[in-house]
Amino acid sequence: MNLRQKFFLSAVVIANGLLIAIPSNVSHLVAHDRTVILGRYSQTHFGWILGVVILSIVGLYIDQAKTRETYRRRWFRVVALLMVALPTLLLADFALRRIVTPTYVYDDLAFHRPPNRTWTYEFSDVPTSGWAAKAPPGHQPVSCTLTADERGYRNVDVQSSYEVVTLGDSFTEGSNVSNDNVWTTLFARTTGKRVYNLGMTGYGPVHYLASLRQHGLSLGSEHVICMIYEGNDFRTAERELGPEHPSIWERLSQYADRSPIRMTLDRVIQGWPGGATRPPDPELVELFSWLPLMVPEGAGSHPYAFGPKALLEHSQSADLFEIGPTWLRAKGYLDEIRAACDAKGLELTMAFAPTKAHVVLPLVRGRLPIEKMQQIAGMRSDWVPAADVFERMLFENLDARERVVRSWCASNDVAFVSTTEALRDAVADGVHAYFAYDHHWTPAGHRVVAEVIAGAFVEADDGASLEDAESGVAPESVSALTGGK
């Protein structure tokens, strides 16, 4: 082995050693609900480790040749292999995109499911973060059937026309529940109205507007219900910069991200033996040890967990939220939705979907470890006040986003229906309304929401105002819908 080969070998060993020895910022990953591989690495970091290891093996294979002739032959073999492998990989990717049924069809801003398809799967409510690896079991597994109609939206009973069109994201489409358990289906069954569900997982306010214009306005409806989820509806609105005219680079990036081969590799990395299930730093595990929260106390309680972003976002005041980019961008799309409905003579109702933290925190205030919560919120922000001040801010501002949306509705003569109090009352009564480790509603949660919105419409049909419907539901009504569970 000559001096150059020794130098190359040393460089390879050092590069691989540093990549393996230096961990990712695990606190940042946990704070942003990202996958932690082997308790040390981000998914991207772990991918780099694997890639560099492969390149190092190839490089050593070439560089450690004993003769110049052998060195050239090895280079030729590697280049020839790449010239065959890369086109083969591209062809395989191209073929798989046409063989494998995609999750979504991105032929328009109002993307959708592949039309006339049905998926069946079982959803397991299990922890996905390392800090929750020893947490109690969540909701029992749910067998799900998801049926997409000819437009690619979740509608089983196809009608010639509809009385109500619903807009929304995964809370309206119904993530991790079956067709019969989605609140839109239950609402239709309760009210007897013909309902078309334009909800789609991954949608934000810009997509609500696009789907309304492309489909909703032509369905012969009389009423539009737009469900706003106070979590990522505002976060996605802030990121929606020019989605109708992506650059060439953005298009290439999106194409690569949707590759079946890429997604398979991601699943392999996430499922690496001992990977995401291995707890990260013990100090982080201790910091999150109070989660999930058991509500109500005692027998019949259910676990509820949520991430740091909920704590930080809910501590923001209504005044700051109202002038911030998250609300202003979402408000712009809501203004256009209202204008589109007014132009067609459609009645618009805003239904408010609260986060799990918004619903659960007031029920457990007396047993919260505020110091730990303050530290967790600090993982996503450079400045978080002292624990006692943070607690006051959190509970004073817990309803801030809902108040802003309600105020917008009042200013624009738009009906507003809140589901917050009904969900909170149900959780307090032992209804497992949200999944423990997923932020969506359970089948029981969908039933509570359907009862609230249907109740508001029934009151309106009886002559009562729907302009600012409260979320209260008679306990016996909720009990009947949820089976008392």
Which of 58-67, 79-88, 129-138, 176-185 is predicted least confidently? 129-138
pLDDT tens, residue by residue, 44-83: 898 899 999 999 999 999 988 888 899 999 999 999 999 9
Range 300-331 burial, b when 16+ CB lie within 10 A, else e: eebbbbbbbbbbbbbbbebeebbeeebbebbb
Which carries the bigger pLDDT value, residue 276 or residue 78?
78
Q: How confident is the model at residue 280 (pLDDT cuts 50, 70, 90)?
A: low
Nearest to 197 by CA among 230, 233, 237, 225: 225
Distance CA 352, CA 361 (A): 18
Res. 276: pLDDT tops 90: no
Res. 242: pLDDT tops 50: no
| ∠ CA 218-222-227, rounded to 5° | 90
Which carries the bigger pLDDT value, residue 101 or residue 231?
231
Instruction: State residue 462's pLDDT score.
Output: 59
SS3 369: coil
Instruction: Name the percent of the chain lying above pLDDT 70.
Output: 88
Distance CA 243, CA 369 (A): 41
Q: Which domains does the chain have, with CATH numbers?
A: 3-99 (no CATH), 117-243+279-482 (3.40.50.1110)
Place of tokens 């932020």: 439
Which carries the bigger pLDDT value, residue 58 or residue 26?
58
Instruction: State residue 100's pLDDT score.
Output: 78
- How high does pLDDT run on average in the chain? 87
Distance CA 86, CA 260 (A): 16
Distance CA 346, CA 112 (A): 24
Mean pLDDT of 234-249: 58
Which of 10-24, 209-223, 232-246, 430-444 is predicted least confidently? 232-246
Res. 408: pLDDT tops 80: yes
Res. 142: pLDDT tops 60: yes
Res. 376: pLDDT tops 70: yes
Contact 164, 225 (CB under 8 A): yes
Mean pLDDT of 372-401: 91
pLDDT tens, residue by residue, 184-232: 999 999 999 999 999 999 999 999 999 999 999 999 889 999 999 998 8
Instruction: State residue 122's pLDDT score.
Output: 96
Contact 189, 454 (CB under 8 A): no
Mean pLDDT of 10-20: 93
Instruction: State residue 246's pLDDT score.
Output: 62
Mean pLDDT of 163-170: 97
Calculate the alpha carbon distances from 217 to 68, 277, 453 in Å.
72, 46, 21
Nearest to 202 by CA among 139, 138, 257: 257
